Structure 1
Amino acid sequence: MGILAALEFKAKVLEVYGNSALVVHQLRDEWETRDSKLIPYHSYIKNLIEQFEEITFHHIPREENQLADALATLSSMFKISQGKDVPLIRIQNRGQPAYCKAIEEEPDGKPWFYDIKCYLKDREYPPGASENDKKTLRRLAMSFFLDGEVLYKRNHDMVLLRCVDAKEAMEIMIRDP
């Protein structure tokens, strides 16, 4: 959609930013497009690309592209009729996110990842867990990795994120402001 809009505005030089590493690498011809369902789309975009004097593709992980994610969510909330004005959306930057350095309380004294860690360590389910709860816990645990007593969550790029409780999070924030 963005490439078509750029062509409509007669752009000759374009920088494209996308959150799909697969698509970006395929369009750069660094990776082969093998999925038969994606090949027609790949060919279509390649034909559009030829209409630019210069076009570059950049990968931006979704977590670093929060503004685009928010705009996509907002755009899905508006129904726009042909010939009508589009509502104006004002965007202001507050400088620092509101959630910065927020640590949630642990009302039961256990960190949010306690059940996942117990399951990975000893294959134990929480007391009173239903079959559905057990199934959900098994599914959640698949994206975590336990190294001794340290629990890590794998993100979509396979980077391991260390899970910490509220006490350790507070210590980290004091140590690394």
Structure 2
Amino acid sequence: MLVELGVQFVEILGDSMLVLKQIAGEYKCLSPSLVVYLVAARNLLAEFREATWEHVPREENLVANEIAQIATGVQMPEDSVQRIIKVGKKSLPSVMTRGMEIDVNSAMMSEGD
């Protein structure tokens, strides 16, 4: 969305130090199913003139956590004490089902050694 709006400078606040270090290339991604997201993130970052990122501990980022909870769409009726939620595993990462072309090579899995 930011690319479509023509944004040139972006600041990313993340609560996962691991993910931020993987994006920076300081840590390698060991999960074949997650490396697709890493490549997608790096490809998107290349669209901006400048991108910075900062670690914000989850307990200090309550607003983002609440937004994430809302985004899941999981709501409990006030008179309910339990709810069954079906959990499944996707066969393709969501970035691929949205039509993004991601070229992942084996070097991505070992980058940062």
- TM-score (norm: length of structure 2): 0.58
The 5 A counterparts of 1:31-110 are 31-77=27-73
Shift of 1:77: 4.0
Look up the match of 2:23: 27
Report what 1:170 is aligned to: none
CA distance in 2, matches of 1:77, 1:46: 28
Overall identity of the aligned pairs, in %? 31
Q: Which whole-Å CA distance do the structure 2 matches of 1:60 and 1:75 have between them?
A: 20
Count of matched residue pairs:
74
Structure showing greater radius of gyration is 1
SS of the counterpart of 2:40?
helix
**AA aligned opposite 2:16:** S
Kindly indicate whether structure 1 or structure 2 has the higher relative contact order, using CA contacts under 8 Å at least 6 residues apart.
Answer: 2
Pick one of 18, 29, 32 that aligns with 2:14: 18
Q: Summarize the Cα distance change of 1:44–1:74 in structure 2 as closer, same or farther, 3 Å threshold.
A: closer
Look up the SS of the partner of 1:17 in the other structure: strand
Structure 1: where are the runs of 5+ without partners? Answer: 79-177
**Unmatched runs of 5 consecutive residues or more in structure 2:** 75-113
After superposition, the C-alpha distances for 1:83-141 in whole angstroms (9 at most, x for unaligned) are: xxxxxxxxxxxxxxxxxxxxxxxxxxxxxxxxxxxxxxxxxxxxxxxxxxxxxxxxxxx
Q: Which amino acid aligns with 1:58?
A: E
Counterpart-to-counterpart distance in 2, 1:49 and 1:32 = 17
Contact 1:49 / 1:55 at 8 angstroms: preserved in 2? yes
Q: Of the candidates 3, 7, 13, which is equivalent to residue 3 of structure 2? A: 7
**Partners of 1:27 and 1:57 within 8 A in 2:** no
Q: One-letter code of the match for 2:43?
A: N
